[in-house]
Amino acid sequence: MPESGANDADLSAVWHLLSDPRRRCVLEQVYSTERTTLTALARRIESRTEVGRSDGETGTAASRRRIEIALAHDHLPRLADHGVIAYDPSTLEVVLTADFETRRLLEAVLESDVAVR
């Protein structure tokens, strides 16, 4: 991940990871706790994104399961591939593993994201 003097490709990858609201929610949760689970992440994302749905899927096991599947098969592997988190599919545990520079960037982005809400 980005170090002092990180190249444009590294920074571009970080910005791409942060461009998705679900990944930002994952990073916000993991950044604040250092460690969480797939289930806890799905609940948090659901509480943020499912409010106001008109199809009756808010808070259902089916909607939470769809979020868990998206996290397990898309978002968590992307973050893990870039060294931001570690995800263990056997325990469903998610741990922040970002280096110092990436943590600084996450902090700045997450603080600005909260300020916008």
Length of the chain equals: 117
The total number of structural domains in the chain stands at: 1
Residue 37 lies in a domain: yes
How many beta carbons lie within 10 A of that of residue 104, not counting itself? 12
Residue 1 lies in a domain: no
What Cα–Cα distance (Å) separates residue 77 from each residue in 40, 43, 53, 57?
17, 19, 27, 26
Give tens-digit pLDDT for 70-102: 999 999 999 999 899 999 999 999 999 988 888
| Contact status, residue 68 vs residue 46, Cβ threshold 8 Å | no
Q: Domain span at residue 58?
A: 21-116
Residue 43 lies in a domain: yes
> What is the model's pTM?
0.78
What Cα–Cα distance (Å) separates residue 17 from each residue in 32, 43, 60, 105?
18, 20, 27, 12
pLDDT of 114 above 70: no
